[in-house]
Structure 1
């Protein structure tokens, strides 16, 4: 094999996070951390135009419903406490006269990430994290534009946590699905975002 194809292969694997090149030191295999290896997928998702948001959320729903079912079997007291703490932070924010929607969304995302990690599958958790971060704008716009969306979402989160606490995979899957279907329904009906 000549040097040019080898160089291009190393460059491609570096972009994908499989290899790390250090000037003057050599080329090394990375830690194979799932989140690093899936980062290029996030870039591809970012290139999608806004009209495909409902497709992205549909994939998110498929992944997160199964993660919730897996987590219901495996979740421990520490993760249940952490998830409850996220929901308490949301409650405190929603109790304010002028809730900060970004704070609510940040805690919402943290809640979902706890569940994804509790699934016991690091690749699934990395996929959910990669996709979840790409849905922030849609979630924030729903929070701002749909009256009562934050309160409804919070009640759905509480029901998901109850299913996780009961270690009931079927209920956790169903409640996560209902929660994410509500987001998808909003995307089909939502008002247009203001021009930037």
Structure 2
């Protein structure tokens, strides 16, 4: 198990045992790291990831708290992270996305109205390098949703939307743990948008394939190393 995952698993145990309750403040970093038998750096990474997943709330100058989510919701999110490396199901959804979305993107490049192309650009402009992972994923979902709708086929748009939702948490986790993931996502989105603005269906399709295949490749690599 990766060090960050081990830290998250131990924090989950604290919530399960009742040592931590919703809204409760965590012990000081040094004390908690020593108590859990972790390095401060691995604990810090786990806290950062859990804050992105809305499990912990880091308050500058005050400390770190569990959020006010109901215990069942806290544990549901934590269970996802701990079990993430033991569930291949999301790969099936990404595989279908890789099959469907490039074709939808090619159609969108040909069929989207000028207003919709500009609106797609506005979604890109709403995020930047300092955007939080959660906001980036929300923008990512909206970006792909608009492209699917722009393909002009409601059945295809519905299929793409249904395949996208189950991969949201994996995308958040990638953004939280893979160096450069946010910048890479933004760059690929801009390339897709540029191709759509140029009405170049083949180029738009190619960039969409690169974008989705990158997520799938990261996940396959992550799962392959789950037992190392």
Among 207, 213, 220, the residue aligned to 1:175: 207
**Alpha-carbon distance, 1:55 to partner:** 1.7
Corresponding position of 2:136: 104
Among 82, 89, 100, the residue aligned to 1:63: 100
**Alpha-carbon distance, 1:51 to partner:** 1.3
Among 81, 91, 104, the residue aligned to 1:54: 91
Corresponding position of 2:181: 149
Q: Within 5 A, what are the aligned runs for 1:115-130?
A: 115-130=147-162
Among 103, 118, 123, the residue aligned to 1:86: 123
Tell me, in whole angstroms, the C-alpha distance in 2 between the residues paired with 1:151 and 1:190: 20
Tell me, in whole angstroms, the C-alpha distance in 1 between the residues paired with 2:193 and 2:173: 24
Tell me, in whole angstroms, the C-alpha distance in 1 between the residues paired with 2:120 and 2:87: 30
Tell me, in whole angstroms, the C-alpha distance in 1 between the residues paired with 2:149 and 2:87: 28
**Alpha-carbon distance, 1:50 to partner:** 2.5
**Alpha-carbon distance, 1:52 to partner:** 2.0
**What are structure 1's unaligned runs of at least 5 residues?**
1-48
Corresponding position of 1:161: 193
**Alpha-carbon distance, 1:85 to partner:** 1.1
Q: Is the 8 A contact 2:111 2:151 kept in 1?
A: yes
Is residue 139 from structure 1 mapped to residue 171 from structure 2 by the alignment?
Answer: yes
Tell me, in whole angstroms, the C-alpha distance in 1 between the residues paired with 2:91 and 2:162: 16
Q: Within 5 A, what are the aligned runs for 1:4-15?
A: none
**What are structure 2's unaligned runs of at least 5 residues?**
1-85
The Cα RMSD (Å) is 1.6
Q: Is the 8 A contact 2:124 2:190 kept in 1?
A: yes
Tell me, in whole angstroms, the C-alpha distance in 2 between the residues paired with 1:50 and 1:89: 33
